[in-house]
Structures are given as structure tokens and as C-alpha cells.
Structure 1
Amino acid sequence: MSSTSSEVGPTPAIGRYGVFRSLADVEPDARGEAVAELDELGYGAVWLGHTTAEEAAPLVGAAPRITVATGIHSIWRQEAADAARHFGRLEEEHPERFLLGLGVSHPQMVSGYRRPYTAMAAYLDELDDPATFVPPRSRMLAALGPRMVRLARERAAGAFPYLVTAEQVAETRAALGESPVLAPELGVVTEDDPTRARKLAREALSVYLQLTNYRRNWLRAGFTEEDLADGGSDRLVDALFAWGDDARVRERFAEFRAAGADHVALQVFDGSPTGELPHRGWREVARLLD
């Protein structure tokens, strides 16, 4: 069984900009406070890194407007039937406030990782079943490769690619077509100094340089193995992160929008210690949004 994003109602509103952040390392009370703060600052969505639908559920009611999305809900961590059950409860309590962002994670992070495209298609089959239904309008795919992008076009509201360049955003838009939602992540470092900005970006990038799916995607985009060595070249870092003065950061936002992004999920790095939320950075970036 398969379905398309046009079959059931509108996709929850996410606005032009959101925030990507894992809150798993934050105290439970502070998680809700963070979501409320992002809502107050005017962001349209919060994308919760490495979070299941069950873990995201308590945060949907923490603020009146902002859409809460998983980014990602790994299909290996929770069965589709369980995800659908939590989605159904959320849809009853907070209609059109939650997006189920699905992804296949990485072979380095999942025991028994196998045939990711086939596994995702099977997971979507279960979500299409009337007994475990999550409408395509309420699900997004963390799509990087061409086959997964096609799946996002045909069986979800759209795609939210992570750690991509503006050129890759344009390529994904062309592959998706006009109607599906395209919501790429973009790292934002609130630093003017190139040395300091690139240092913070490389710290954020380090874990991803070890993951096959990202490496393959960057090589497909024209980067070389040398670009991926030693923490990443300046060319790679500058393509994946926005940094600099206000005008330069705004230019990067505009670049992603011009490439076809309907929404940009901003992951902000302001130099806060590990485990602390970038409250200052969120405020600084919020005033730059158009």
C-alpha cells in the first residue's frame, strides 16, 4: 500500500524558519521551557534531534503555536505501530501541531542496520495501514540520496535533509517538484571571527564526518576525501554552516530560500558549553529572520 502527501488534509504549519536541537541532554522541565522560548521568539517549528514520537509527546503542549517535529525518529528505535499510537494521541490533544520526521540513521549507530530504503518503505507501508495510520501530510523524511528523496515526494509531506549545501537544496527541490515541503537544516555559528567560527563548526561536524551516509552525500556533491579529512576543509565547513556578521548570515538564509527551501531548520552554535542550550544564539538569530 502507498499514498501521497496530497491525500489527507494540510501539513502542519512550520513557517519559514525553525530550530533544530536535541533536548535529550536537558532536564525535563527545561525542555518544555526551551520549546516555549522558541515559540515566543517566533520560530515556526522545533526539530528534536534523535527523538521518537513518544519522547516528543510531552513537548507539544509546552507552547501554544510552535510545531514540534522529530528530527529524526529512527525507524530502528520504535515500531511503526507504537509511533502511530503516540501520533494519534497527539493529534487528538493538539491537532496539526506535530510532524513525524522519520529517518534511517546510520550503519555506525544501529545494530542490525540493513537495506535502509527497503526498511523505510516497509515502515511507511505500516503507517499507511488503517489500523496504524499516520497521514502522509504529517510525516517527513530525512532524505539525502535520490531514492529516499523520491520516497519523500511520493509518500510524505516532503524532505528535511541534514548537513547539505545550497546547491544540494536546489537539487532536492528539483527532484521533489514544487508541492512537497523542503525543510533543510543549516548550522549557524554566531561568530564573526573566521578562526573561532570554523573551530565551533568543526566541533559540531566532527561526529558526522565518521558516518557513511553523510560522507557519501558530500562526495556525491563534489567534495573530495581531502575535504572530509582533518575535521573538514574550510570549503566544506563554509558550505554547511552560516557564520559571520549579520549581513553575511542573512545572505546564507536567503541563499537556502532561493535554492528552494520552504523552511530552514537552524541549528545554532553560540559557544555555549556542551549540554547548555544556546539561548543567546537563539535570540540573536531570531532578530535576523525575515
Structure 2
Amino acid sequence: MMATGARWGMTLPFSDRTLAGSRELVAELPKLGYTDVWSAEVNGADGFVPLALTAEWAPGVRLGSAIVPVSTRGPGLLAMSAATLADLAPGRFVLGIGASSPVIVEGWNAGEFVKPFARTRDTLRFLKAALSGEKVTERYETFEVRGFRLERAPETPPKIVLAALRPRMLHLAAAEADGAITNWLSPQDVRKVRAEIGPDVELIARLFVCVSEDAARVRELARRMLAGYLTVPAYAAFHEWLGRGEMLRPMREAWAAGDRKAALRAIPDELVDALVVHGDAATCRARIREYVENGLTTPVLAPIPVGEVPLERAVRDLAPVED
């Protein structure tokens, strides 16, 4: 099994089944060696219900949201949802919040994506106060709250971690939150991110994993995923900071010109192989351990089925056991 203290997370919902159909596999995760279950929130399941179900299906695992946006709910509603999860899983819930993107906030949720750093900082400060049971009356830079107090504050306030891709947000996560969440990076990139937050701050990352030895097929699928993310301004800036600006320029230019096929072709194999974990199960586990060795505290696996290995088998084969 893993070394004492190590974490090994799984993403829920699974990509091949409904949430309702996930109970048996979720219940199996603890005995497989998984310590964490982390949700996401884009345009599928929301970030809280899967964790509430997991609290019942797999007692004992740590639950985390990675992430819920700070601009698609009001501050008070976000505090209420977090308090509910903290009550269901005392000491085992971690609230992950982040700025999200203009498409999600404005295009899909009729919100306003303005001052994303300030909105995330202000929400963090509000939540720390509200989840501690304080009555909050405060004018923040990006919103104002008047007289909010949780009807029942959690006995154990949840830890709060921030989605952070570049130094300013990473520094905020290290200074005021309980950790940082990052995404779409290589094991070597972890070192640069870790240097911004210091050695003692928890660093969480979702790792997309394809248990498959058909590298060509994996790369074809992964290119579509990468193009969808790395053309988002925040991720484009992240990879500029990581030193991949010139590598990604042809893809961005083709995407901006509306030539999606050319954009996909412009993503080199070396980038896919750096950012997506693939190969047989033993190779994938070894690659995940590289992330940990370079400073990642909590790998959160997101298995992507590509055909020959069903997702259920991949979840079992990726469990953190010695070969």
C-alpha cells in the first residue's frame, strides 16, 4: 500500500456512468486504497451532491470540491452548501473554490466574470468568517454582505483550498487558504508551482489518466481535451508561465482563426505525453508517483476510458498498491 500519510484521490462522477449507478464502485474505493473523492463542477453534476452521496457510500474518505466557482452562487448560498457537507462529514470535507471561466460564469450561468482574483479572495475571506459561525456584515471589493449568519455553523469548519494557476493566486492560497488546486501540468511543472507556495502547503491536482497502450488513440482523444482547456485565457497564461508559449502558439493561432482541425494537429505529441498520464496500469501508477515525488501532495485521478480497458477496471488497476 501507500506510504503512511500519502493521499490518492478519485474523481466523481465517473465518466462512464450516472451518479446513481456509481454507488458500488464508490463504496469499493476505500478498500482499494483511495483516500479522497473529489468532485468537479462544469456542466454535468454539481459540486456538492456527489460528495453528499459519497459521505454515505464510502464513510471515512476525505471529500473535496475541485472546484465550485465563486461567481455562480451568492456568498451565503455557498456557505450554506459548504456547511451542509461539513456537517455530513465532520473534519473530512475540503471546500475547493475558484474563479472558473467567462464561458461558465457568464455564458452558462448569467453571472459576471469580473475581477476574478479579487472575487476569489473576497469569497475566501467571507467563507472563513461565515463557516466559523460569525455574523458577517462586510463591504468587500467585489460584493457586500449584510448580517449573514449560518443557522447552524459546522462544529468543524471545512478547510478551504483555492484553484490557483499562477503566482498571485498561488501566493493567496499559501497565505490565507489551506492549500492550492492546480490542473493540466507535468510532473516537472509541479516543482515550479511548489516553489511559489512553499513546502508545507497542500497541493492538489486532478490528473487525467488513460489506461491504454494504444498511444495514438490516447493522443487523439487527449488533443481534443487539451484544445478545450489550453485556449481558455487562464490556462493559456498558465502555460505561458510554465514556458510553453511558443509550443502552443500554432494551436492558439489556428483556434483563433476558427480552424479547429489545424489547432488539434498543432498540439505536439510531447505535450500530450507531458500532461496526460497513459500506458498500462503500472506505467500510469509510476507516472502518478512522479508527480508526488516532485511535490504534489494529493493526486486526484480522473480515469478516461479509451476502449480496451473499462473504467471500472481502470479504477481498480490504478489503486495505490505495490506492483
Which letter maps to 2:312? H
Partner of 2:94: 99
Partner of 1:4: none
Match status 1:43 vs 2:34: yes
Distance in 1 between residues matched to 2:232 and 2:5, nearest whole Å = 29
SS at match of 1:226: helix
Q: Which residue of 2 aligns with 1:150?
A: 171
Q: Choose 27-36 or 213-222, whichever is displaced more.
A: 27-36
Quote the Cα distance in structure 1 between the aligned partners of 2:224 and 2:25: 23
Distance in 1 between residues matched to 2:239 and 2:164, nearest whole Å: 14
Alpha carbons of 1:24 and 1:58: their partners in 2 closer, same or farther (altered >3 Å)? farther
Q: Distance in 1 between matches of 2:212 and 2:236?
A: 26
Aligned position for 1:117:
117
Q: So what's the TM-score if we normalise by structure 1?
A: 0.83
Matched, 1:71 2:52: no
In structure 2, do the counterparts of structure 1 residues 67 and 74 end up closer, same or farther at CA, with 3 Å as the change threshold? same
User: 1:185 aligns to what SS in structure 2?
Assistant: strand
SS for the counterpart of 2:64 is strand
CA distance in 1, matches of 2:158, 2:179: 8
Matches within 5 A, 1:204-243: 204-223=225-244, 224=247, 225-226=249-250, 229-230=263-264, 232-243=267-278
- Answer whether contact 2:207 2:276 (CA < 8 A) is retained: yes
Tell me which residue corresponds to 1:283. 316
- Cα RMSD of the aligned pairs, angstroms, is 2.8
Cα distance in structure 1, aligned partners of 2:22 and 2:278: 26
Q: Deviations over 1:34-65 (max 9, x none)?
A: 43232332211111111334663333222112
2:163 maps to amino acid: A
Aligned residue among 59, 82, 90 for 1:87: 82
Structure 2 distance, partners of 1:289, 1:16, is 15
**1:186 alignment partner, one of 207, 229, 232:** 207
Whether the aligned pair in 2 keeps the contact of 1:60 and 1:97 (CA below 8 Å) is: no
Please name the residue that 2:304 is paired with: 269
Query: What per-residue deviation string (whole Å, max 9, x for no partner) do you get for residues 132-162 of structure 1?
Result: 5788861111110111101110122111101
SS at match of 2:103: coil
> How far has the Cα of 1:179 moved from its partner?
1.5
In structure 2, what is the Cα distance between the partners aligned to 1:206 and 1:102?
23
Query: For the pair shown, which has the larger CA radius of gyration, 1 or 2?
Result: 2
Q: TM-score, normalised by structure 2?
A: 0.76
Q: Deviations over 1:65-102 (max 9, x none)?
A: 21121111111122222222232233333211211111
Q: How much has 1:250 moved relative to structure 2? A: 3.3
Deviation at 1:25, TM superposition (A): 8.7
The CA deviation at 1:241 is 1.0
Which one-letter code corresponds to 1:263 in the other structure?
T
User: More displaced, 259-268 or 247-256?
Assistant: 247-256
- Helix, strand or coil: the match of 1:102? strand
Q: Percent identity?
A: 29
Counterpart residue type for residue 279 of structure 1:
E
Rounded Cα–Cα distance in structure 1 between residues aligned with 2:32 and 2:173: 30
Give 1:30 deviation, angstroms.
2.1
Partners of 2:128 and 2:213 lie apart in 1 by: 47
Most deviating of 73-82 and 110-119? 73-82
Distance 2:18 2:184 in 1: 27
Residue of structure 2 aligned with 1:16, choices 7, 11, 15: 7
Opposite residue 311 of structure 2, the aligned amino acid is: P
Which stretch shifts more, 277-286 or 135-144? 135-144
| Letter aligned with residue 69 of structure 2 | S
Query: Displacement of 1:211 after TM fit?
Result: 1.4
**Residues 267, 54 of structure 1: CA spacing in aligned structure 2 closer, same or farther, 3 A cutoff?**
closer
Q: Which residue of 2 aligns with 1:251?
A: 286
Match of 1:8 in 2: none
Assess if the C-alpha contact under 8 Å between 1:52 and 1:78 holds in 2.
Answer: no
One of 167, 177, 196 as aligned partner of 2:188: 167
CA distance in 2, matches of 1:261, 1:109: 27
- Distance in 2 between residues matched to 1:169 and 1:37, nearest whole Å: 30
